[in-house]
Amino acid sequence: MKLTVWTYEGPPHVGAMRVVTGMKDVHFVLHAPQGDTYADLLFTMIERRGHRPPVTYTTFQARDLGSDTAELFKDAAKDAYERFKPAAMLVGASCTAELIQDDPGGLATTLGLPCPVLPLELPSYMRRENWGASETFYRLVRGLAGPYAPAPGEARAERRPGPPRCNLLGASALGFRHRDDVKEITRLLARMGIEVAVSAPMGSGPQDIARLGEADFNVVLYPEIAEEAARWLEKAFGQPRTTIVPIGVSATRDFIEEAARLAGVDPAPALEDGDLRLPWWSRSVDSNYLTGKRVFVFGDGTHAAAAARIAVEEMGFELVGLGAYNREFARPVREAAARYGVEALISDDYLEVEAAIEAAAPELVLGTQMERHIAKRLGIGCAVISAPVHVEDFPARYAPQMGFEGANVIFDTWVHPLVMGLEEHLLGMFREDFEFGHDAGPSHLGAHGAPRAAPAAAASEIMHELMPAAPARPAGDQPETADAVWREDALAELKKIPFFVRGKARRNAEVYAAECGAEVITLETLYDAKAHFGR
């Protein structure tokens, strides 16, 4: 058993729902207890869909347990077919139904429904949401495109005349910016004369899946969902696939070269884009202060690895931490981490992520909604780069992450909290001013700062924060330099340091004092430590 407050990923059947909810003309019958319909609201509320997900739940209750549940499943599947008349149906079990061992695939087969029925095995106690999405898409592709695959060993059919064509694979419901990424990459490919045959699973139906084999190659937009299916298509239809995810300027250019090579076209028309502004924005003198900003990156493997490259090579940040929650895609993250000299954190435990962020003391966190809240708690700026995300990250406006417009979006999104940080710094310069006093706290980030109405309480709280040996601090939370004592003038100076590096400065001074055997931290010690640790 594992103690969990929140989870980066849902169970695998939620992944299956993400695949079918993006599609047309399919229906998913899920053997699940009453209550599992909560997952519907992820789609109707967070993604704001105006339709119910195409999912029928058996919603069995305690009184149904026993042989009755199998009948319940059959009735639900029959009714769902009659009502929705889908072109293909998927059947599967959620975690509880997995335990009662009715076999949805077998039961559905006995019904003899007049459409293809694809059974899903979703091992809920071992796997998670992304795996469920990947597996579901793979089963769909095998089940619906499989019958059209040439026999093994046969040469690939002569390609049809006309422009080169590819499939875009991986976009799903509840995907972070999937809607706009598809649009952006479709446009980018069009500039090289490459047509998109099918974009799947989002936006496609069973008939589209059936003709995936007709395209010349596959673009894997989100490896978490599409890699498995693309590998199989490569084997079955001899379709090569792209390996570079076009997030960031350089990655987009690499992707263009790769796609052009697979399509046999000239990449030049796509490589230059008059609307691409990130490179100039990043070179403009206003961005000078971004240099060497310490950034911590966490998310799904694909987005985290892409963000690390952008952060270092395109924004000029210093990468101080990199990690991912989905173990299946740890490899690209480990590689990126090695490239930029940090150790990869592969974990789905937010407490571990929080500890790593605290230890790295970054000035900017790039992560999921969990990191957004961690950063808020720590008073650090943060931008969201990966699912899981909340409703505000399914925006009304055009907001891709991929391609050149995606790079523009990323520049704005990441710099925004730092500009806020700069504002805070400026405010800090006026901190003797009562309106901007230390007790006012970092307003935009709503962190520890206590309201001005209670200056005495706030001051004592700050003393506790700054004086680790103070008794009010919970045991176990004390740095090893607990015996360090701060001279008042040093403490006053410490308060002048902007809040987002203050903790780091405090720790450095204490470590330095401990190393030198100094019992009291003076103004002198503070500046000696600054020189000692200065980057």
Starting at the edge strand found earlier in the chain, the sheet holding 318-324 runs 344-346, 318-324, 294-299, 364-367, 381-384
- Determine if 95 is a binding residue for another protein (CB under 8 A): yes
- Determine if 5 is a binding residue for another protein (CB under 8 A): yes
Euclidean distance between CA atoms 363 and 498, whole angstroms = 11
Give the range of 75-83, 225-233, 407-415, 485-493 binding another protein by CB under 8 A.
75-83
Answer for which of 18, 20, 36, 138 binds another protein (CB under 8 A) is: 36
Contact 348, 314 (CB under 8 A): no
Q: Which residue has the tokens 């350089």?
A: 250
Query: Which residue in 68, 75, 79, 286 is the catalytic one?
Result: 286
What length is written for the chain? 535
Answer for which of 68, 83, 160, 489 binds another protein (CB under 8 A) is: 83
Contact 176, 303 (CB under 8 A): yes
- Determine if 394 is a binding residue for another protein (CB under 8 A): no
- Determine if 292 is a binding residue for another protein (CB under 8 A): no
SS (H, E, C) 86-147: CCEEEEEECHHHHHHCCCHHHHHHHHCCCCCEEECCCCCCCCCHHHHHHHHHHHHHHHHHHH
Residue 154 neighbours by CB distance under 10 Å: 9
Residue with smaller CB distance to another protein, 51 or 535: 51
Name beta bridge partners: 402.
247
Euclidean distance between CA atoms 177 and 115, whole angstroms = 32
Catalytic, 286? Answer yes
Q: Is 103 labelled a binding residue?
A: no
Euclidean distance between CA atoms 264 and 346, whole angstroms = 38
Give the range of 94-102, 223-231, 307-315, 412-420 binding another protein by CB under 8 A.
94-102
Give the range of 33-41, 216-224, 279-287, 500-508 binding another protein by CB under 8 A.
33-41
Residues 314-373 that bind another protein (CB under 8 A): 370, 373
> Please, is 426 exposed, middle or buried when counting C-beta atoms within 10 Å of its C-beta (0-12, 13-18, 19+)?
exposed
Residues 471-530 that bind another protein (CB under 8 A): none
Q: Is 264 labelled a binding residue?
A: no
Least distance (Å) from another protein to the CB of residue 89? 15
Q: Is 422 labelled a binding residue?
A: yes
The bridge status of strand 88-93 relative to strand 195-201 is unpaired
Answer for which of 71, 87, 96, 420 binds another protein (CB under 8 A) is: 96
Answer for which of 66, 67, 112, 125 binds another protein (CB under 8 A) is: 125
Residue 336, both tokens: 């990126």
Residue with smaller CB distance to another protein, 38 or 397: 38
The annotated binding site is made up of 36, 421-422
Please give the positions annotated as active site.
Answer: 286
**Interface positions with another protein (CB under 8 A):** 1-7, 9-11, 13-14, 33-42, 44-45, 48-52, 56-62, 64-65, 76, 79, 83, 94-96, 99-100, 123-126, 128, 370, 373, 377
Binding-site residue set for substrate:
421-422
